[in-house]
Amino acid sequence: MTVGVWILGDQLWQNQAALNRTDDKSSLPIILIESWQHVQQRRYHQQKLVLIWSAMRHFAKELRGGGWQVTYTKSEDFEAPLKAWIQAHNITEVRVMAPNDRLFLQLVQNLQLPCKTTIIPNNQFLWTETEFKDWASSRKRLLMEDFYRTSRQRFQVLMDSSNKPVGGKWNFDKDNRQPPKGKLDTPKPLWFEPDVITQEVIAQVKSLSFPTYGKIELFRWGVTREQAMQVLDNFIEQCLPAFGPYQDAMVTGEETMWHSLTSPYLNIGLLHPLEVIQAAETAYLEKNLNLNGVEGFIRQILGWREYIRGMYFYVDADYFENNWFNHTQPLPEFFWDASKTDMNCLRQVLTQVEGSGYAHHIQRLMILSNFGLIAGISPQELEKWFHSAFVDAYDWVMQTNVLGMGLFADGGVLASKPYAASANYINKMSDYCRGCKFDRTVRSGENACPFNFFYWDFLARHRDKLQSIGRMSFILANLDKMPPAELATIRQKAAEWHLVS
């Protein structure tokens, strides 16, 4: 019997479950495949293609250097090179670690290969699908906060000797939502100059004949495990000490603030979530860092990331179709070309995404998806756009974040209320409104900010549905106080905006 291992582009980790079962490296055939068909499914960000293909090529090189027997192929599809490889090595069993995305799992299961295919459970997350399902099915409510507390106890992170949370509280977010005021002394993110391998991939991506998105010129992402570790070290040294207070703040020209930039690496296996969490906890203990920032950061990974992925496999397979508000407006063209909008907040964030494939959490949630929600854009169209536009986007992280958290398209399976906000919030948490041609204080008159008239239109449009959500009652009471004539003008403006854009 000859076993061969197929490594997928988001499984670039030497300890991954399909690889770590053998010590005899030289006799284990390994294959990695770049498929053209696969990347034509969406209009991917050019930097995403460079990141994945360059990281795959570097990983293949690293494996070869470690004595593994690696085949690296570029091909139209996956099946043809797999068949050729199976034949060349007389392989009787292909092992592949379970893909994180449902559709890719189906693709693997439907391949017509001349030997057995074994899918090995994925070990790139802390909770397995079964463990998450066991947790979820035993509960009446599926709150992230409950899951996070269980995770803290299960992995003994930030817990004291009596199994209580250190600092006496589970959550310090109250100290973490400061607006940006005055000149902020932001840390420098760690970027990398493309090496020869990356330059080759850049040239390859530039020559592609199918539609892609974004700009490739400023590709600066790390593409190896070593570089990902440097990014983590840089975050722990430079950013974590002040991560908490300005976690939600947005400032023109400050694309990364104190954020870790670890998602592109975590999501392809160059970093493992537990090592990132442990690095933060160790820094807290050894450097006496503020607990609010460290706890806030650890919650993102031990809480949100694991929860989002667990929920992806827990919800029904047709979750993607959810559209609780029946939103059907087409995605505005400016999502693909930032220069086509005059809304400064959207233009700033979309320009940034074009240039790097990255935006931080509040930019994604409170600018991009908030606009989609209140303007009534089709959740499916916006989800597809997010999946194309971000370097860290994958089906497992996209569906529950965009449809559930961002757009409330699942009617509240994930979020306890819609994240809908007017210009008030954007002006409080950013400096974007200062450079905008719209007036953030106006909701119905000339030059009214679209975030304002869409916000009130959204509330009025869905009043009946929103009434069933307890946390919306205060806001709906404000809607009821609005003079009917003003509400009519607002709703007219919202309708006209869609007609002209």
| Residue of 335, 340, 432 lying closest to 377 (CA atoms) | 335
Q: Interface with ligand FAD by CB under 6 A: which range of 34-42, 263-271, 439-447, 493-501?
A: 263-271
The tokens describing 358, both together, are 């990255």
406 binding ligand FAD? (CB under 6 A): yes
Tell me, residue by residue from 230 to 259, as one string, x for binding to ligand FAD by CB under 6 A and - for no binding. Answer: -----------------------------x
The reply on whether position 292 binds ligand FAD by CB under 6 A is no
Burial class (CB in 10 A: 0-12, 13-18, 19+), 156: exposed
The one-character DSSP state at 211 is -
Regarding 345 and contact with ligand SF4 (CB under 6 A), the answer is yes
Residue from 249, 291, 393, 433 touching ligand FAD (CB under 6 A): that is 393
User: Least CB distance from residue 173 to ligand SF4, whole Å?
Assistant: 23
Distance CA 325, CA 332 (A): 18
Q: Where are the alpha helices (DSSP H) in 111-262?
A: 129-137, 144-155, 196-206, 225-234
What x-and-dash track marks residues 307-346 binding ligand FAD by CB under 6 A? Answer: -x--------------------------------------
DSSP letters spanning 17-73: TTTTT-S-GGG-EEEEEEEHHHHTTTT-BHHHHHHHHHHHHHHHHHHHHTT-EEEEE
261 binds ligand FAD (CB under 6 A): yes
Asked if residue 48 binds ligand FAD (CB under 6 A), the reply is no
Other beta carbons within 10 angstroms of residue 329's beta carbon come to: 15
Q: Is 309 in the site for ligand SF4 (CB under 6 A)?
A: no
- Does residue 497 touch ligand FAD according to CB under 6 A? no
Task: Tell me if 261 contacts ligand SF4 by CB under 6 A.
Answer: no
305 contacts ligand FAD (rule: CB under 6 A): yes
Query: Does 420 interact with ligand SF4 (rule: CB under 6 A)?
Result: no
Task: Give yes or no for a contact between 258 and 186, defined as CB atoms under 8 angstroms apart.
Answer: yes
Applying CB under 6 A, among 46, 198, 369, 380 the residue interacting with ligand FAD is: 369
Part of the chain binding ligand FAD (CB under 6 A), chosen from 27-35, 130-138, 400-408, 475-483: 400-408
B/e letters for 28-46, b = 16+ CB within 10 Å, e = fewer, are bbbbbbbbeebbeebbbbb
Rounded-to-integer distance, Cα 187 and Cα 486, Å: 45
Q: With binding defined as CB under 6 A, does residue 426 bind ligand SF4?
A: yes
Contacts with ligand FAD, residue ranges (CB under 6 A): 259-263, 266-267, 300-301, 304-305, 308, 360-361, 364-365, 369, 386, 390, 392-393, 397-398, 401-402, 405-406
